[in-house]
Amino acid sequence: MYDEVSATATSMKVFCGRVNPTTGSVDWVEEDENYDYHQEIARSSYADMLHDKDRNKKYYEGICAAVRRVKERGQDAIVLDIGTGTGLLSMMAAAAGADFCYAIEVFKPMADAATRIVQANGFGEKIKVINKHSTEVTVGPDGDMEQRANILVTELFDTELIGEGALPSYEHAQHNLMQEQWEAVPHRATVYALLVESQRLWSWNKLLPLSLDSVDIRPPPEMESCPGAPSVCDVQLSQLRPSEFTKLSDVLCVFRVDFSEQVSSSAVSHPVRFRSEADGAAQVVLSWWDIDMDPEGTIVCSMKPSWAYPTVQPAPWRDHWMQCVYFLPEERQVKQGEELCLIGHQDDYCVWYSLTKPSVEAQTQVPLERPACHCGAHITWNRARFGELNDRHRIERYREAIRKVLTPSSVCLCVSDGSLLPFLAHSVGATQIYTLESSSMSQHLMEKLFQTNQLGDKIRVLQKPPDGVTAADLQDGKISALIGEPFFTTSLLPWHNLYFWYARTALSSKLDTHCAVLPLNASLYVLAVEFKDLWRIRSPCGTCEGFDVSIMDEMIKNSLNFRESQEAEPHPLWEYPCRALSDPTKVMTFDFRELVPTEEMSAEGSLNLVRSGECHGVVLWMEYQLAEDISVSTGLLRVSKENGDCHWYPNRKQGVYFFSSLLDPEPARTHISISISYSLTFTPKTGDICMRFTPLS
């Protein structure tokens, strides 16, 4: 929520200097010395993993089978559990008959929790928790492990499978901590890929050309040829409608990792030949993985999205493991029946893809270098921002509003990060246009974009804070039109973009008496919802597969009491289905035509629940009034009248305030007479919105 810039410690407290995303100031905040630990726990997916019944069931079945195979060979079952977390998998092994378990956990608060959980469940004599990285563990009479293990149990995987360093950890453990013959749970992993054309997904990766009557916006050549960011997009692909992509291949098996054999973390390429199933533009690779818990492949835990099953059925819901979206280095036109080669490149931490014609070279080629952005755009803009910049309907709304406030004589200043509004200002006739950028990289990126479109001498980029803008910067003129989306790269929660209001206040002496401000205002809306699945990430852990892990509830509750986690948290709700239980309600309006007030703003009231369901929390978002008759929403777009299903703007995150026993209010199993009371306070000095929502019967 804040960008930490420095910290100094004094005994039991830490003073952290953080850039406030709303006010833009550096705030020095006194935190508990365990602040980072609490934040790590609060933001983790422990509750989500513990509630993943499919995952837990498959792991338990696989562990039981592995212990049985070792016992059938007449050996003691000695288990090594790397990344034990709560100790759940070690307890499963002990319950399955393992003779001893070594549970490795590098994160000390979790290692301490695992020790308490193991003891609380009566496994203290069969499980030893070791608070080290697995590469630091020693074996021998005086070592951490008295003997090498013969069953390797791990859950080191992320959405990309290997992104958390699974391969180096396996490689080291198999060399140094395992016997010559070992069983592994999981036994193997298989990575799958599907080549598709999807304008929706491709718009997350490239700035697409845009025609605006007299103005065409073209991306710089280096942006078009840039391979993009090295990081994968993790997405709930079950929420991507099949109509939003065209399959150009069948589901391809790209590579397998057998964990019962020696694993290598060396870079390697995996070419897969196939014939294109349709004409189209090859743009995107959708990917997921399965893990087989046993050698026979009868116990399978799959990450494939719901539409990838043979028949329509709900996929097990997970947020700790999702699916991957990879962008090819460049778009390539393919024909139905054309023979192609998709190459999955893999090093010790990353996977990426390229597409080529089949050849002997393609099958034996050395892995390409990991893709890295060289244009600056993929470092400055995330995937949602690319999507917003390519949202033509939204751009037209802004252009329509800008037409109402700009004239050829306007002195126009845009305050937003990496915005196309200066182009829109030029397209409606403004000739003196400035744009304020928050970073040198963003400044360079926008200058290159303006130059590519022959506007380098017509739009001036200023890289400085609002209170640093001088009369000389504006050629001794006064700003007659202040415009913004608003969007800022440091913003996480919807109200963080109120930075535009603080910028407007800092610039007040540079504004003309009759300066037009766009947007006119921002309104904060709230909606009570029932989530289909997202509630699980904040649901109490209690017992899991018969093991008491309620200590995690205590840890998470303590963590959530910290300032950054006790209120709303950001989520892209297009990925997380929910139903509206109340009507959307406007609770606060921030008037950008006025200065930021010095006094607090408060709002109190109640949300009447008009639909039955279980109320898991409240969603918050901003709606901007661009002109008297033009507005844009960063949250709710519409609610289905039939069932209350919500449709969310996909290119911004919304704020979610969860109800759970950890946060005290009783979950509201609603009736139309039940309501949710709310109390919100906006503090101008900090830019924070403190909130309380309480279900009432």
**Alpha-carbon torsion, ordered 638, 642, 646, 650, to 10 deg:** -60
What are the start-end ranges of the H helices in 154-240?
Answer: 166-176, 199-202, 221-224
Q: Where do we find the tokens 């996480």?
A: 492
Q: Is the pLDDT of residue 554 over 80?
A: no
Hey, where are the domains in the chain?
47-185, 189-380, 391-518, 521-696
| 337 phi-psi bin (left φ>0, alpha ψ -120 to 50, beta other) | left
* Exposure string over 456-485, b if 16+ CB within 10 A, otherwise e: eeebbbbbeebeebeeebbeeeebbbbbbb
Rounded to the nearest angstrom, the gap between the alpha carbon of residue 491 and the centroid of all alpha carbons in its chain is 14
Q: What is the mean pLDDT of residues 491-505?
A: 97
pLDDT at 371: 87
Angle, to 10 degrees, between the axis of helix 53-72 and the axis of helix 88-95?
40
The domain 47-185 is placed in CATH, from the list 3.40.50.1220, 3.40.309.10, 3.40.50.150, 3.40.50.720, at 3.40.50.150
Whether residue 613 contacts residue 645, with contact meaning beta carbons closer than 8 Å, is answered with no
Q: Is the CATH number of domain 521-696 3.30.565.10?
A: no
- Residue partners of 62: CB distance under 8 A and separation at least 6: 185, 186, 187, 293, 294, 299
What are the start-end ranges of the H helices in 210-258?
Answer: 221-224
Q: Where does the pLDDT of residue 695 fall: very low under 50, low under 70, confident under 90, or very high at 90 and above?
A: confident
What backbone phi and psi angles, to 5 degrees, belong to 65? -65, -40
Q: What span, in angstroms and rounded, lies between the C-alpha atoms of 161 and 291?
A: 10
Active site residues: 155, 164
Q: Do domains 47-185 and 391-518 have the same CATH topology?
A: yes
Q: Is the pLDDT of residue 19 over 80?
A: no
What are the start-end ranges of the H helices in 532-595?
Answer: 551-560
| pTM score, whole prediction | 0.92
Percent of the chain with pLDDT over 90: 79
Q: Where does the pLDDT of residue 7 fall: very low under 50, low under 70, confident under 90, or very high at 90 and above?
A: very low
Tell me the per-residue pLDDT of 117-165, one tens digit each, with 9 for 90 and over: 999 999 999 999 999 999 999 999 999 999 999 999 999 999 999 999 9
What's the Cα-to-Cα distance from 193 to each of 287, 353, 366, 609, rounded to whole Å?
4, 10, 20, 43
3-state secondary structure of 583: coil
Nearest CA to 224 among 455, 24, 448? 448
Q: What span, in angstroms and rounded, lies between the C-alpha atoms of 449 and 468?
A: 24
What is the CATH class of 391-518? alpha beta
Inter-residue long-range contacts of 43-48, CB under 8 Å, 24+ positions, other chains counted: 43/565, 45/319, 45/320, 45/537, 46/85, 46/86, 46/541, 46/552, 46/556, 47/536, 47/537, 47/538, 47/539, 47/540, 47/541, 47/552, 47/556, 48/318, 48/319, 48/320, 48/536, 48/537
> Quick one: fold of 189-380?
Hnrnp arginine n-methyltransferase1 (2.70.160)
Tell me the per-residue pLDDT of 297-335, one tens digit each, with 9 for 90 and over: 999 999 999 999 988 677 899 999 999 999 999 999 999
Q: What span, in angstroms and rounded, lies between the C-alpha atoms of 173 and 158?
A: 19
- Least confident residue range of 78-92, 440-454, 551-565: 551-565
Q: What span, in angstroms and rounded, lies between the C-alpha atoms of 234 and 251?
A: 18
